[in-house]
Chain A
């Protein structure tokens, strides 16, 4: 692309190395308010993020108006003057990577008929149980991104994404579900609708639970929120090296039950946005963070790896306001011993209210339950009215007794439901 070449050429005049990340996307959506479509929307945009390196100092800036790239380049250069220098070992050069899109469904276009069909399928699924829709949404997006740098790297790919969500209510019992996929054959709006209706309809009339210790089964949504709150940040190399991770210095130690593994597998077929390279153009690979309970690795982007003399792990992602690459993960998979986790009696927790309020350093949390049920004989039975669970997220890694066979992909995590033993539940009974 001419624009990218122009920017790189200009940047080379003033910097040692330069990188351009260009993204463009188009999406449409339909929003349900109660059982009718009240909003139709369309969105289109693009953006560039320019990063330059000069004397080991990194500067970055972004703009959503590619025409103004010169201002953006100036801002990136200005920003480099203030940043602390580090032993920079270079941006990656080009490698023989297959650039075939891994998450692109050519049937996905911005045709309104697609979102109307998804909405209808959500509503069909929701008819399975007696509950009312309060709101819902279906959207499709097509995006394209290119990363190029002054070492001759130039990768480009396109991707598609389809998303549905539904919120329902019956009396004072609410049910929420969502699904995201890159492919129209994988998205399951009927199931999303049915599940939201199930939790709304069957959550009514619950009794209060007595305060005490219980076996608890956390849904994929619930366990992934707890992982996000403390475990994933603690695996970030930057947090490890700056005193913000309890995992620092524990490589090779047992930090989870013997049968528990946490692996980032960027090419796992269940991923929703697989790509052969990371946010800095590094070829992605499988990283075992926790293997059979033992801490094996941390996540690094180039900046952090170079700063602290570690090996980059191709863990850079492009999120956040500045658009600068930051440490993240691609498909973080939680694995444990598969078993029939609902056969013995347990408190089943579909969702949590306030998981983000957990202490990210210590891992301590106490959060309200959403759609809790007593489960046994493989099914959810009596609803529980209210309750809080509390504990420590890092301890939970030692308390996982079993995992469901099926998993869900939630953003960049792929998780089963997990059965935990000995969890405090605070009731109002």
Chain B
């Protein structure tokens, strides 16, 4: 072929999505849909050209020359020369599932969910909903360098929502679990009951009071903290664009010496990438090691232009070009016990569960919201509080981590960036922050 491209790759994802929605005891939806999407990337003389196709057009065994041409043509609007770095390429084995959801009939899944639904009943409960989702994907990747991979991955999981209401107060409890290790809905009444009990207890919880205080984050929320406050700002594309506060800070002490934060796409958790979406081998990347910024997360492009980090962190939704993303992000264990952390906090707040968060990495500000919390008074957890959030400046907050627990736990979820949503896990042990800015609906 005579086209003057420097590189191309193609990623096709075909699959089936099964969703079941049990809303107040009624099956509102239970069924499957199908997709087949491909994205072709060509690096022209200057920048990238991307072609996205779906359905019949994505149904090719070998990449049609016409698609390379179309993607190349799309690159003609670019006016900046983009270098890319060659990277090691390797496919990790996808671990076998304990029970393949595809082997379980829709009928049986509906029965299991209806059974789980029964566990959500309780006093003051006015609404209950269980959603199941199963995404079965076959990913085929190949590039002009001769790398070619095909793998199959099934992600499934469920969420339980319970709403309680009494005397005009409405509160909700929400629990979910998603996995790559096979069907996870059997015998999960415990989680369903937890959502119900949370909603009930929150009716009597007090609104949180905002202000600057010591805060303990539970593993789920501390994981969101790692993801929002550090993970995004370490993404090589943001560093390259000049919109990360962590730009130019490699080898600087940016946080407590207790702090080590890792992103590991090779870990067989919900954010697992057997190979990244531009064919690069995935591996553990220590973003922060003992408080020192050690590596950025990279793609072939951002590694070439920014350096100081590891490629293999490039991910895209089916049919969409990959960008630098996190996968399984966590804070490594420290050596404090939970009891030590609560006791050392003395007076402050324990924040639990996550309703999500957001970051402005250029400005270095993050925010996230807990599902609930407890006041800590005289080194003990006391009154339950609701609607409590935390915000802060990345560079300042990382120095305020004064204790790190020894009880690391990972939580699956989804992360949005640039209009794309990808599966991730976040995790951490319990953390103690000094001088946290806590938002609540009441102020002094």
| Chain A residues in the interface with B (C-beta under 8 A) | 28, 30, 33-34, 36-47, 58-68, 71-72, 75-76, 78-79, 82-84, 112, 115-116, 132, 134-135, 167, 169, 172-174, 211-213, 238, 242-244, 246, 303, 321-324, 353-354, 356-362, 364-368, 370, 386, 388, 390-392, 424, 426, 428
Report if A39-B171 is in contact (Cβ < 8 Å); known contacts: A354-B389, A370-B360, A388-B439: no
Bound form: Cα–Cα A275–B88 in Å: 51
Bound form: Cα–Cα A46–B75 in Å: 23
Interface residue tally on B, bucketed by range = 35 or more
Is the contact region of chain B dominated by helix, strand, or loop, or is it mixed? strand
Q: Who on chain B is nearest to A112 by CB?
A: B77
Report if A172-B363 is in contact (Cβ < 8 Å); known contacts: A40-B76, A66-B55: yes
Residue pairs across A and B with Cβ atoms less than 8 A apart, 21 shown, are: A39-B47, A40-B76, A42-B49, A44-B57, A65-B34, A75-B34, A79-B30, A79-B32, A82-B30, A83-B28, A174-B243, A211-B444, A238-B23, A244-B163, A322-B33, A354-B358, A357-B355, A359-B171, A359-B172, A362-B171, A362-B387
Bound form: Cα–Cα A83–B129 in Å: 15
Most B CB contacts (10 A, CB to CB) among A79, A174, A324 go to A79
A65 touching B163 by the CB < 8 A rule? Answer: no
> Binary interface profile of B, 114-142, with partner A (CB < 8 Å = 1, else 0)?
00000000000011010000000000000
Bound form: Cα–Cα A112–B70 in Å: 12
Instruction: Say if the beta carbon of B298 comes within 8 Å of chain A.
Output: no
> Binary interface profile of B, 293-325, with partner A (CB < 8 Å = 1, else 0)?
000000000000000000000000001010000
Q: Who on chain A is nearest to B305 by CB?
A: A33
| Chain B residues in the interface with A (C-beta under 8 A) | 17, 19-20, 23-24, 26-37, 47-59, 70-71, 73-80, 82, 106-107, 110, 126-127, 129, 163, 165, 169-172, 207, 210-212, 237-238, 240-243, 245, 319, 321, 355-360, 362-369, 386-389, 391, 393, 437, 439-444
Q: Who on chain A is nearest to B40 by CB?
A: A42
Q: Who on chain A is nearest to B435 by CB?
A: A428
Query: Nearest Cβ in chain A — how far from B304, in angstroms?
Result: 13
Q: Contact check: which of A34, A322, A424 meets B241 at CB < 8 Å?
A: A34
Known: A39-B47, A39-B48. 13 other contacts (CB 8 A): A33-B80, A40-B48, A40-B49, A40-B74, A45-B55, A46-B54, A65-B34, A134-B242, A135-B241, A211-B211, A353-B365, A354-B357, A370-B363
A172 touching B243 by the CB < 8 A rule? Answer: no
Q: Who on chain B is nearest to A34 by CB?
A: B241
A365 touching B387 by the CB < 8 A rule? Answer: yes
Q: Contact check: which of A39, A112, A426 meets B437 at CB < 8 Å?
A: A426
Report if A63-B34 is in contact (Cβ < 8 Å); known contacts: A45-B55, A361-B171: yes
B34 touching A62 by the CB < 8 A rule? Answer: yes
A42 touching B74 by the CB < 8 A rule? Answer: yes
* Contact residues in A for B441 (Cβ distance below 8 Å): 364, 366, 390-392, 424
* Contact residues in B for A391 (Cβ distance below 8 Å): 441
A426 touching B355 by the CB < 8 A rule? Answer: no
Bound form: Cα–Cα A41–B320 in Å: 10
B360 touching A174 by the CB < 8 A rule? Answer: yes
* Contact residues in A for B47 (Cβ distance below 8 Å): 36-40
Report if A39-B443 is in contact (Cβ < 8 Å); known contacts: A246-B170, A361-B170, A370-B360: no
* Contact residues in B for A213 (Cβ distance below 8 Å): 443
A64 touching B35 by the CB < 8 A rule? Answer: yes
